[in-house]
C-alpha cells in the first residue's frame, strides 16, 4: 500500500470502493460509514496529508470537482442542502492522513450530527450506481 495510506490504496484500486466519479486527478466514492445517505468522499489521487501541504494546482482541481459532485448529489438525491467538510489534524477530527472533502447531503428537519453509521454494502452499491457520473 502506497505510503501506508488507505485512501492511496483506494485510489490505486487495491481496496474496492463505491466510486461515483473518477478522472486523472480526483476520485470520489461513497463513505462506507456515512453521516447521511449519499455521503461522498472526494480525494486527490496525489497524496498529501492536509490542506496546508496540498499544492495549489491539486487543491484547485479537487475543489472544482467537489462543487460539480455536490451539485450532482443534490440533483440525484433531491436533498435540500449539503455540508462540505474538510478536517485537518487529529484535533479537528481527521482520521485518515490524506487530504479529503466530505459531501454530506442534508434534508430539512435532519438532526445536525456527524455520527458515522455502518453502511449496508448492498444499499451503498445501488446508491453508487445512481450517483455515478
pLDDT digits 0-9 by tens, 76-108: 999 999 999 999 999 999 999 999 999 999 999
Residues with catalytic roles: 100
Widest Cα–Cα separation across the chain: 41
Q: Summarize the confidence of residues 98-127 as an average pLDDT.
A: 88
Beta strands in the chain (DSSP E): 19-22, 26-30, 40-44, 81-85, 101-106
Report the distance separating Cα 39 and Cα 119, nearest Å. 10
What domains are there in the chain, each with its CATH number? 2-131 (3.30.428.10)
Coil, strand or helix at 110: coil
Question: How high does pLDDT run on average in the chain?
Answer: 94
pLDDT band of residue 133 (cuts 50, 70, 90) is: confident
Amino acid at each position: 500500500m502506497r505510503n501506508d495510506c488507505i485512501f492511496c490504496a483506494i485510489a490505486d484500486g487495491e481496496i474496492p470502493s463505491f466510486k461515483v466519479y473518477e478522472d486523472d486527478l480526483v476520485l470520489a466514492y461513497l463513505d462506507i460509514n456515512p453521516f447521511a445517505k449519499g455521503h461522498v468522499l472526494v480525494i486527490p489521487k496525489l497524496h498529501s496529508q492536509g490542506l496546508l501541504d496540498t499544492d495549489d494546482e491539486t487543491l484547485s482541481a479537487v475543489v472544482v470537482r467537489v462543487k460539480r459532485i455536490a451539485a450532482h448529489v443534490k440533483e440525484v438525491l433531491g436533498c435540500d442542502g449539503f455540508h462540505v467538510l474538510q478536517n485537518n489534524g487529529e484535533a479537528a477530527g481527521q482520521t485518515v492522513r490524506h487530504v479529503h472533502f466530505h459531501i454530506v447531503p442534508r434534508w430539512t428537519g435532519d438532526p445536525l450530527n456527524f455520527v458515522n453509521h455502518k453502511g449496508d454494502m448492498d444499499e451503498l452499491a445501488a446508491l453508487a450506481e445512481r450517483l455515478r457520473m
